Amino acid sequence: MNDVAAACRAVLTAGEPREKVKAARQAWRALKAGRLDHHFGVAMPDAPARPDRPELLAPSHMPKRGRAGSERSRIAMLHALAHIEFSAIDLAFDCAGRFGADFPPEFTADWFSVGADEAMHFALLDRRLRALGSHYGALPAHDGLWEAAAATAHDVMARLAVVPMALEARGLDVTPATVARFEAAGDMRSAAILMRIYRDEIRHVGVGTRWFRDAAGSAGFEASGRWKWLIRTYFRGTIKPPFNDSARASAGLSRDFYAGLAEESVL
């Protein structure tokens, strides 16, 4: 592991959660210490390694989470979020390893940093699940995040538009209400973890938005118009309110990107 692509591939090919978290942290420390060459001599795998559990189901086949506010419901929510963060480790390092050769080293550094954050988020959530008598893998999950990555593996602007600027931005919209539900149930420890993740995710959406704007400018595109075209082309979901406009604005994702698409979705 002496170049950034090899470090990224090491993360992606680590299947067990502890191994993936360890590989992500090692990669980020090695980059910060100047031990990785900005070289891309190995290809990224078509799909990341995964543990035997959780069982991956289609979103429509996912079981109900139970009564809102119950411990069962809260464990199910934490498990779903842990799976999102686990997948996000791969998304960050795949973005760096797949597209980094076309960008300055700061692009790679940004996504290594994001990936290390996601590893920390996953570890926090898994630890919390264990404190509640569960663990990551105890419940089924779906692989929608990686499916979005696979669909955009050929185009960095599509990847940035769909993953950080649509899927992760949606997390900014819904997390404050989720935190409030945990607080109402008296689960202040889980609420604090989710707030830590929320603050970090604003930065992550900001990383995606900043590099999208940079790529759009280099290609001669108007950023918000190109984003809308890419979302219509590659995003399987809908861009719909309510929006956390202040968090999105903090990430550089202004309303001129998403408001028009939201209006289209309700027509």
Helix ranges, the chain (H): 4-12, 17-32, 71-99, 105-131, 144-151, 156-162, 169-184, 188-219, 223-234, 245-250, 255-265
Of 263, 157, 163, 144, which Cα lies nearest the Cα of 217? 157
Based on its alpha-carbon atoms, the radius of gyration of the chain, rounded to whole angstroms, reads: 18
Report cis status (omega within 30 of 0) of the bond before 242. Answer: yes
Map out the domains of the chain with their CATH numbers: 4-38+63-265 (1.20.1260.10)
Instruction: Compute the Cα dihedral for 43, 103, 153, 51 and give only its sign.
Output: positive
Q: Which two tokens stand for residue 174?
A: 């819904």
Predicted confidence pLDDT, tens digits, the chain (267 residues): 589 999 999 999 999 999 999 999 999 999 999 999 999 989 999 999 999 999 887 666 666 665 656 888 999 999 999 999 999 999 999 999 999 999 999 999 999 999 999 999 999 999 999 999 999 999 999 888 889 999 999 999 999 999 999 999 999 999 999 999 999 999 999 999 999 999 999 999 999 999 999 999 999 999 999 999 999 999 988 898 999 999 999 999 999 999 877 655 543
**Spatial distance between the Cα atoms of 137 and 125, rounded to a whole number of angstroms:** 12
The token duo for 182 is 């945990």
Q: What is the DSSP letter of 235?
A: -
pTM: predicted TM-score of the whole model, two decimal places: 0.94
66: DSSP letter = -
